[in-house]
Chain A
Amino acid sequence: MDKAIEVKSLVKKFNDFVAVNDISFDVKRGEIFAFLGPNGAGKTTTIKMLTTLLHPTSGQILVNGYDPVKDQNNVRKSFGIVFQDPSLDDELTTYENMEFHGVLYGLDKKLMTNRIEELLNIVDLWDRKDSLVKTFSGGMRRRLEIARGLLHHPKVFFLDEPSLGLDPQTRTHLWNYVKDLNKKENITIFFTTHYMEEAERVAERIAVIDHGKIVAHGTLDELKKHTSTNTLEEAFLKLTGTEIREEEAGAADHLRMARRMWRRK
């Protein structure tokens, strides 16, 4: 099995709104894969389906060979994720957030203690292990989320706009670490970003999604060749146009809206 992720004819509808419209792609084991698209293109919705948070309307998904609809637990064990928005408990300390994760993933106590120390050292948070997360800056939170997502040694690591709101120093540090991890542990990286130079620098293959459809899929060179452009940014703009998108509400917002309308009737 050389595919970490396989997606076939995946569709997600929220009532009449088609957020993901019949997309197919695959991610090879051990590769760094960038999933790009303008706001509201369907990136986060796709990630939510890959990570068992949303049920697809139709189509097939395999993550590490398991189906996120039928075999949730095996899928969940096999991936780690850094969400687009924060997902830490502010009222808990760094260490407690890590411990919570370790227990949920059924890690043995000794193994967990060792790994927490190791990971917190890597992300430079070991000396803040007893600080409450609510005292942390955005960059520190991100680093903690990354350490947490790796605690159970996932085979696939999802990063949904991990560099959002980070300064260039932290961003460089983050990507160096992720690249290193990918090389050493052969962890498959699936990430989204709005920084094209970031994708250009780290991604081995790229998919561009727009209006819920995949408009291009391949290596950086293939994308540039296909669009006759010189940089990923140009290629991206050529593929998705220069028109500014309204920030589409996320899946939860759609549900919220749907429920509100339903209630009013």
Chain B
Amino acid sequence: MNTIYILWLRQLKRYLRSRSRIIGSIGQPLLFLVALGFGLGPIFKRAGDGNYIDFLAPGVIAQGILFTAIFTGIELIWDRQFGFLKETLVAPVSRFQIMLGRTIGGATIATIQGVIIFFLTLLVGFRPYSLAMLPIALVIMFLTALFFTALGTAIASTLDDMQGFQLIMNFLVLPLFFLSGSLFPLKGAPALLTLIAKFDPLTYGVDALRSSLANVTQFGLVNDIAILGILTAIILYIGSKLFSKIEI
């Protein structure tokens, strides 16, 4: 337990000490909100789908969580390159605990990031439909964050350097985001796109967030959470297997 706590604390301290990272990670969601939200808003309205900002806000929150979570997971490569990983790997604690502590730490950071973006969405005019649903939205944010941090950690366990990072951004993170229904409604989208979206874990995170914040859902809140929970358990298992195999 202490092991998990100290690894969690380390992640958090590192995050809070890099102010540039916090500020930097606000820029992109803000751009999406302003450019897409205000740019596509009138068209969205004309198509009869209502307020686009309301639709987009949960998607942008999910996007912020996705990027931060994957990134903090992948940070494992840094630890390997700068040597700190060795310090944890020779310690008399199970690798599973190390992996779990790191992952929960990363997920906490990504959740904080999601909350910050939530406040940004309020600035551009988003209003959650029910205050009572906010705690549930927070749980969904954390679950989504946990899944993607674990995914990042799992990927990083198999990589030795940052050369693969661009590859991951372009062929994993961006598709996960754009194909998830963060930006457009899956209802009425071409069948192939909807099918692809169903294989994208972020889809369920976005849908659950949209359900809890804007009362719009494609699959139903309970289904979303169930699917996300199962996927998280699976990726945590795979991630801990890969992590325990690391040799330096």
Contacts and interface: CB of A to CB of B under 8 A. Distances in A.
Interface stretch (A103-111, A183-191, A204-212): A103-111
A16 interface: no
Interface string B4-40: 0110001001100110000000000000000000000
Contact of B13 (A96, A252, A256): A96
What interface size band does chain A fall in?
35 or more
B92 A76 contact: yes
A89 B84 CA distance: 6
Interface residues of B, number: 24
B219 to A, nearest CB: 37
B13 A91 contact: yes
A81 B82 CA distance: 16
Interface string B70-92: 00000000000011101111111
Nearest to A104: B91
A86 B82 contact: yes
Interface string A227-265: 000000000000000000000000110011001000000
B214 to A, nearest CB: 37
Contact of A251 (B2, B18, B91, B247): B247
Contact of B14 (A53, A91, A255): A91
B215 interface: no
Contacts of B248: 48, 53-54, 251-252
A166 interface: no
B10 A76 contact: no
A90 B87 CA distance: 13
B218 interface: no
B142 to A, nearest CB: 24
A52 interface: yes
A101 interface: yes
Interface string A63-83: 000000000111011010101
B90 A55 contact: no
A115 to B, nearest CB: 16
Given A48-B248, A92-B10, A251-B247, A87 B84 contact: yes
Nearest to A263: B164
B160 A105 contact: no
Given A85-B83, A90-B82, A100 B160 contact: no
Contacts of A62: none
Contacts of B49: none
A163 interface: no
A196 to B, nearest CB: 27
Looking at chain B's contact residues, the main secondary structure is: helix
B194 interface: no
Contact of B87 (A48, A73, A77, A87): A87
Interface string A34-53: 00000000000000100111
Contact of B92 (A88, A92, A106, A259): A106
B91 A105 contact: yes
Contacts of B196: none
Contact of B160 (A55, A86, A259): A259
B247 A104 contact: no
Given A48-B248, A91-B13, A76 B91 contact: yes
B93 interface: yes
A54 B90 CA distance: 11
B217 interface: no
A54 to B, nearest CB: 5
Contact of A256 (B5, B92, B161): B161
A103 B3 contact: yes
Contacts of A53: 86, 89-90, 247-248
A73 B96 CA distance: 13
Interface string A142-169: 0000001000000000000000000000
B3 A101 contact: no
Contact of A101 (B13, B87, B160): B87
Contacts of A77: 92
Interface of A: 48, 51-55, 72-74, 76-77, 79, 81, 83, 85-92, 96, 99-101, 103-106, 148, 251-252, 255-256, 259
Given A99-B6, A251-B248, 9 more contacts: A53-B90, A53-B248, A81-B90, A90-B82, A91-B13, A101-B87, A103-B6, A104-B6, A104-B88
- Closest 9 A-B residue pairs measured CB to CB? A76-B92, A104-B91, A87-B83, A103-B6, A77-B92, A256-B160, A91-B14, A87-B87, A73-B92
Interface of B: 2-3, 5-6, 10, 13-14, 17-18, 82-84, 86-93, 160-161, 247-248
